[in-house]
Chains A and B, each alone.
Chain A
Amino acid sequence: MKNPIGNLNKVFDSRIRMGVMSILLMNEEVSFNDLKQLLELTDGNLASHLINLEENAFIKVHKGFIGRKTNTTYSITKSGEKAFKDHLEGLENIIRGVNKS
């Protein structure tokens, strides 16, 4: 029997990383603070997950300034979009597989 969760991407196992990808798929560019507010996280917690996604080249980081304050924004990469959509398809297939049997 084929492994039902074989198509799922391990990177997106974490609810936080999944949340970040969901937001970035819908919005071109989102700031660190907006991500923090949307996902109700602390700075440190969110930062470590963003670094992980960046290392996998799923998201791009843009460092900018508003006045003197740093304003870091994030956007999804082509490969990130593909990986996340494949992951969603994997989830859908699991649900369909159950309905069939």
Chain B
Amino acid sequence: MAAQGNSQSSAEQSLETLQDIKRIMERSSRFISLSGLSGVSAGICALVGAYFAHSMIYRYQHYAGTESLSPEMFSAEGRNVFEWHMIGLAIAVLVAALLTSTLFTWRKASKNQLPIWDHASKKLAINMAIPLAAGGVFVIGLLDHGGWNYVAPACLVFYGLALVNASKYTLTDIRYLGLLEIALGCFCMYFPHEGLYFWTGGFGILHIIYGLIMWWKYERK
């Protein structure tokens, strides 16, 4: 009886140790505090931004007195102002999305008493930043060469690649979001005048759907 009890407790101890090891391994290599609500908030920012962009484009077309979307039709000065407004709007959307999504992830991390800036989140940030920085330079190049039509597909493809790369360092589910963004971006190349709709779909709707699924899967109480 005594021997039985002994081996029982040493087994329980071993199980506990193995679970500890698994937890430490996971925590040290993956950033698990990423909140689904971060995806939802980023998606909402994108939708709001797309709404403003849409009405700006509409107003601009009326002001220019043409229904054509081709920017070559408009006066150089009017086009310049319009382009800077669009770039400003894009930066504002990016900042709002980053701030709100960081807030929700920070909230989840502090609820679980985990640090938000640790070994795992550093690795996540670096590996996500590499394709994003390349994408950023690429998009600036496109703008410089008047390739506005290809900004939306380029954003989608590079963002998708960044997510696929980042999926090794956080919840693996974001890999699927990344693949969808890449597919959407490639598809968008053949609908250059519908870029804003594809952009809204990829950054707005896909983010919200993904965020809700993640929230349902990992955070629902």
Contact = CB atoms under 8 A, between A and B. Distances in A.
B7 A4 contact: yes
Contacts of A101: 4, 7
Given A34-B119, A38-B119, A94-B11, A23 B18 contact: no
Contacts of A27: 28-29, 119
Contact of A97 (B7, B25, B28): B7
Interface majority SS (helix, strand, loop, mixed), chain B: helix
B11 A38 contact: no
Contacts of B15: 95
Contacts of B29: 26-27
A34 B115 CA distance: 11
Task: Select the residue from A25, A27, A37, A98 with max chain B CB neighbours within 10 A.
Answer: A98
Interface in A53-101: 88, 91-92, 94-95, 97-98, 101
Interface of A: 4-5, 15, 18-19, 22-23, 25-27, 30-31, 34, 37-39, 88, 91-92, 94-95, 97-98, 101
Interface in B15-54: 15, 17-18, 20-21, 24-25, 27-29
A91 B24 contact: no
Interface string B111-126: 0000100110000000
B8 interface: yes
Interface of B: 4, 7-8, 10-11, 14-15, 17-18, 20-21, 24-25, 27-29, 115, 118-119
Interface majority SS (helix, strand, loop, mixed), chain A: helix
B21 A22 contact: yes
Given A26-B29, A27-B29, A30-B119, A19 B11 contact: no
B28 A23 contact: yes
Given A92-B18, A94-B14, A98-B7, A22 B25 contact: yes
A38 B14 CA distance: 22
The 3 nearest A-B residue pairs measured at CB: A98-B11, A34-B119, A26-B29
B8 A34 contact: no
B14 A95 contact: yes
Contacts of A92: 14, 18
B8 A38 contact: no
A19 B24 contact: yes
Nearest to A12: B17
